[in-house]
Amino acid sequence: MHGDRMINRVTKLLAMVLGFSVHFAMAETPAANIQSITDEVDQQADMLMEKYHIPGMAIAISIGGEQHFYHYGMADVNAGIKVSRHTLFELGSISKTFTAILGSYAQSLGAFNLEDNAAKYVKLWEGTPIGNTKLINLATYTAGGLPLQFPNEVTTNDGMLAYYKAWQPEFAAGTHRLYSNPSIGLYGYLAALSMKREFSELMEQTVLPQLAMNNTFVKVPDNRVAQYAFGYNAKNEPVRVSPGMLDAEAYGVKSTSVDMLHYLEANMGLKPLSPQIAAAIKETHKGYYDTASFTQALGWEIYEYPLTLSKLLEGNSREMASQPTKVKASDDIVEKTGEVWINKTGSTGGFGAYVAFIPAKKLAIVMLANKSYPISARVEAAYKILAAAQE
């Protein structure tokens, strides 16, 4: 163990000299490999921050449960606050993976079923296309063409209910995937209705505590606002996410690199969890619809592994996020474990995030930034970093 402690001490000293912070939960990775991983992370972070004018980043990697944290730049430029392990970033659409867990948790209680139609929970929609839509199609963006965002005029709960009631699908359910906040957002909204509680309350009082994510929030509490980073828009103005319909369900979670790495380890079965929440996580890894690039699970996108960078970029392309794509129902609806790459991107007006994990390798990466920058750049950087972690 003396050698392990020495590796840890030398690495921390190196981190101080280079101006970033690194923490290892264990020091099992050989020192040479730690250095090559650190070099790759530094190189990618420096390139991204310079090219896209990103004020601050937090990158975290797990290798078989061994945690590595890297922090760069500023969480709040004007106040001179540096990014740290305590910095809260907006996760954007990575929030959808938590919504998926909440839905699976509701299902485990018998309150909710993926084969139910939406009208079971909102009688106003009986006899309408949305009312006849199955929850599984809402959760997988295959309801028939719900758009990426709500129309600007939808600003109230009554307006939202009326919008859904009047909605007309472009495609038959289960034939096309069109990435959509109103789709999975409604899934989360109905899951909360089934449990007769507010979504944000369920997330913060039930789901997140059971995941042991004590530094993750929908609404950042007053005593943590000082750790909440400012995002920076295209004009480099400080911004935070604006309120919107079903924002908590679709893109409203804020978290730290520490909590998010813990979350990915929990998804890989490396953390002790209650049987109920562990089962809910496994449900989110079941693949339901196949695209040409990946299988759509609940919140997550799942790729066969090993995979090429081009395949990963194809699945995370702008077209995949904004255009309808033909899908087919998966032959086997089972938990995808082992040789797969599971990922999710997230963006808000001032933040850009990416998370991925490879269960068979017990590898995971978290990339959080307080500026929205191209998803392709995030994916390529993560791919190269995880490649370095396997050398």
In the set 72, 179, 232, 373, the catalytic residue is 179
Which residues 6+ apart lie within 8 Å of 371 measured at CB? 52, 53, 54, 55, 231, 232, 233, 350, 351, 352
Instruction: Find the Cα–Cα–Cα–Cα dihedral 149, 151, 156, 162, rounded to 10°.
Output: -100
Cis peptide bond prior to 359, omega within 30° of 0? no
| Closest by Cα among 171, 182, 177, 179 to 149 | 182
User: Quick check: is 179 catalytic?
Assistant: yes
DSSP 8-state secondary structure symbol assigned to residue 117: B
Helices (H), 234-274: 247-251, 257-267
CB atoms within 10 A of CB 224: 14
The answer to whether 99 and 257 have CB atoms below 8 angstroms apart is: no
Report the alpha-carbon distance of residue 104 to residue 289 in Å, rounded.
Answer: 17
Report the alpha-carbon distance of residue 188 to residue 106 in Å, rounded.
Answer: 10
User: Quick check: is 104 catalytic?
Assistant: no
Instruction: Find the Cα–Cα–Cα–Cα dihedral 132, 134, 137, 138, rounded to 10°.
Output: 80
The pLDDT of residue 11: 39
Amino acid letter, residue 342 = I
Give this prediction's pTM.
Answer: 0.93
Report the alpha-carbon distance of residue 207 to residue 163 in Å, rounded.
Answer: 29
Domain ranges of the chain: 2-91+215-388, 101-194
In the set 62, 93, 104, 257, the catalytic residue is 93
Question: Cα separations (Å) of 63 from 72, 153, 157, 230?
Answer: 21, 46, 44, 30
Show pLDDT as tens, one digit a residue, over the chain (391 residues).
223 322 333 333 344 333 444 434 344 677 769 999 999 999 999 999 999 999 999 999 999 999 999 999 999 999 999 999 999 999 999 999 999 999 999 999 999 999 999 999 999 999 999 999 999 999 999 999 999 999 999 999 999 999 999 999 999 999 999 999 999 999 999 999 999 999 999 999 999 999 999 999 999 999 999 999 999 999 999 999 999 999 999 999 999 999 999 999 999 999 999 999 999 999 999 999 999 999 999 999 999 999 999 999 999 999 999 999 999 999 988 788 779 999 999 999 999 999 999 999 999 999 999 999 999 999 999 999 999 999 8
CATH dotted code for 2-91+215-388: 3.40.710.10
